[in-house]
Amino acid sequence: MSVELMAVGEALRAESIGTSVRIQGWVRTKRTSKAGVTFLEVNDGSSLQNLQAVVPETLANYEDLVLRASTGASVNLEGEVVASPATEQVTELRVLCLDVVGDAPDYPLAKKRHSFEYLRTIAHLRPRTNTFGAMARVRNEVSRAIHAYFQDNGYLYVQTPIITGSDAEGAGQMFQVTSLDLERPPLHEGRIDFSEDLFGRATHLTVSGQLEAEIMATALTRVYTFGPTFRAENSNTARHLAEFWMVEPEISFCDLTMLADVAEDFLKSICDSVLRNCPEDMQFFNDRIERTVLSTLQHIIESDFVRLSYTEAIELLRASGRMFEFPVAWGADLQAEHERFLTEEHFKRPVILTDYPASIKAFYMRLNDDGKTVAALDVLVPRIGEIIGGSQREERLDVLERRLGNQGLDPESYWWYLDLRRYGTVPHAGFGLGLERVVQFITGMQNIRDVIPFPRTPRNVEF
């Protein structure tokens, strides 16, 4: 008789009835009945639902094995998939052979419910919970959908560096990277001499792959990057990480309107993929985490996003008569409360805000004819606020040089970026989507620390 190694997710299906299988996974719960059988709920991460393994007391070493096969233990099971008499599941495993691979005495997750705060302190075990298993599968599906969208639409996946010599956002929120001995750094005229550093100059972890993506796009037309991004901002919010993943498409011969079309189409395709490919996990998030996620995703796919200029949004917020904690004034950045009012209360759908004041946006954004605003775009969604930030890029050399100067940045260190405007410049545009913000939006999870396996936030870098 041949025994097939099978994932739990497959053994749960009716088509597997009658097959002899081997199942490998971890015990979630154990229950011994008076009738002399033990039920093990086994999970291997392939599905939300566990496989019920029925261990008969006729098994050799039954007492000892069943004692050791406690919650958290890893097991190797052989047996036959049979139709389950219970209503909660289609199939179950009639066990012929049980092997405890790794015992788990005093397992910290033995209790049923734990707070997300507590689970963050045991991040090495939390993937074994329903919520974090489901999160990992949805996050995987979002990543797959991102690649699929761009690959299907003629974009090249390009890799941009993690160590950089320039501040892509010009906002100075960078982590320094150095090989110098910080206890005894080489000094020159009282200051640290970075010419002795490994790269012969000061370097940092990237805050965005955009500038390098622009290099690639001005040769290959449509590209995207997808990689880790670092921001040394000391903000302890439910929406910020010091290390997160960002997807950045960059498109040549593209203006702001075309970019907004891409952003909308792209977000819809991610939501659609998750709904189609993760129905069980999404039902779980809807039942247990946030009871609106399914209807919200469906609504997003079906409705047109609102498009509105920053100036119109300011007027609208002013006219709302609402008392906001932060005042609404032209020239100030929108706060989360303003973004939420627009998406959750006023329009009740995603909003693409465009044409922000130049003074609050990065140097690379294209200056509009009014001389006051730039061709920027933020996509705002209910519950999260900003999920995408992007712009048309300044392709005019003289304007770009002026903008760098105005923002106190040294044009010398952006020489290659300026060269792209000297040699065959084109209108081009791109945006960045935060992977964790999308996963947060899709799953309804409250805190961004719970949608990345190993969150990095101020004073938190365990695991």
Residue numbers of the site for Mg ion (CB under 5 A)? 389
Residue 264 is a binding residue for ligand 4AD (CB under 6 A): no
Place of tokens 């040294």: 410
Distance, CA of 161 to CA of 39 (rounded, Å) = 51
User: Does residue number 449 form part of the binding site for ligand 4AD (CB under 6 A)?
Assistant: no
Q: How is residue 86 written in tokens?
A: 């219970």
Residues 219-258 that bind ligand 4AD (CB under 6 A): 231, 240-241, 244, 246, 248
- Partner from Mg ion, ligand 4AD, none contacting 383, C-beta within 5 to 8 A by type: none
Q: Which does 432 bind (CB under 5 to 8 A by kind): ligand 4AD, Mg ion, none?
A: ligand 4AD
Query: What gap in Å lies between CA 159 and CA 227, rounded to an integer?
Result: 8
CA-CA distances (angstroms) from residue 110 to 101, 153, 408, 414? 18, 47, 56, 55
Selected binder of ligand 4AD within 133, 350, 382, 389 (CB under 6 A): 389
CA 39 – CA 84 distance, rounded (Å): 12
Residue 210 interacts with ligand 4AD (CB under 6 A)? yes
Residues 154-193, mask of contacts with ligand 4AD (x by CB under 6 A): --------------xx------------------------
Contact 205, 198 (CB under 8 A): no
Q: What is the DSSP string of 403-417?
A: HHHHTT--GGGGHHH
For Mg ion, the closer CB: 75 or 433: 433
297 binds ligand 4AD (CB under 6 A): no
Least distance (Å) between residue 458 CB and ligand 4AD: 11
Q: What residues numbered 189-208 form the site for ligand 4AD, per CB under 6 A?
A: 208
Render 106-173 in DSSP notation, one character per residue: T-TT-SS---HHHHHHTTTTGGGSHHHHHHHHHHHHHHHHHHHHHHHTTPEE----SEESS-SSSS--
Region from 84-92, 260-268, 347-355, 434-442 binding ligand 4AD, contact rule CB under 6 A: 434-442
Which span (2-10, 182-190, 285-293, 380-388) binds ligand 4AD, by CB under 6 A?
380-388
Q: Which is nearer to Mg ion, 293 or 377 (CB)?
A: 377
Distance CA 218, CA 424 (A): 8
The C-alpha angle with vertex 264 and arms to 440 and 426, in degrees rounded to 5, equals 120
Tell which one of 293, 436, 442, 450 touches ligand 4AD (CB under 6 A). Answer: 436
Partners of 202 in the β-ladder:
none
If the CB atoms of residues 72 and 350 are measured against ligand 4AD, the closer one turns out to be: 350
Residue 268 or residue 437: which is nearer to ligand 4AD going by CB? 437
Instruction: Return the residue matching tokens 């974090």.
Output: 132
Choose among ligand 4AD, Mg ion, none what residue 354 binds, the Cβ cut-off being 5 to 8 Å by kind.
none
Q: How far apart are CA 31 and CA 366, in angstroms?
A: 64
Report how far residue 365's alpha carbon sits from residue 363's, in angstroms, rounded to the nearest whole number.
6
* 437 scored as a contact of ligand 4AD (CB under 6 A): yes
Q: Is 377 in the site for ligand 4AD (CB under 6 A)?
A: no
Q: How far is the CB of 282 from ligand 4AD (least distance, A)?
A: 21
SS3 456: coil
432 touches ligand 4AD (CB under 6 A): yes
Q: Tell me the sheet residues that pair with 352.
A: 307, 379
Q: How many residues bind ligand 4AD (CB under 6 A)?
A: 23
Residue 427 contacts ligand 4AD per CB under 6 A:
no
Is residue 387 part of the contact set for ligand 4AD (CB under 6 A)? yes
Nearest residue to Mg ion by CB is 389
Q: What's the rounded Cα separation, in Å, for the pair 363 and 408?
A: 10
Which residues here bind ligand 4AD, judged by CB under 6 A?
168-169, 208, 210, 231, 240-241, 244, 246, 248, 386-391, 430-434, 436-437
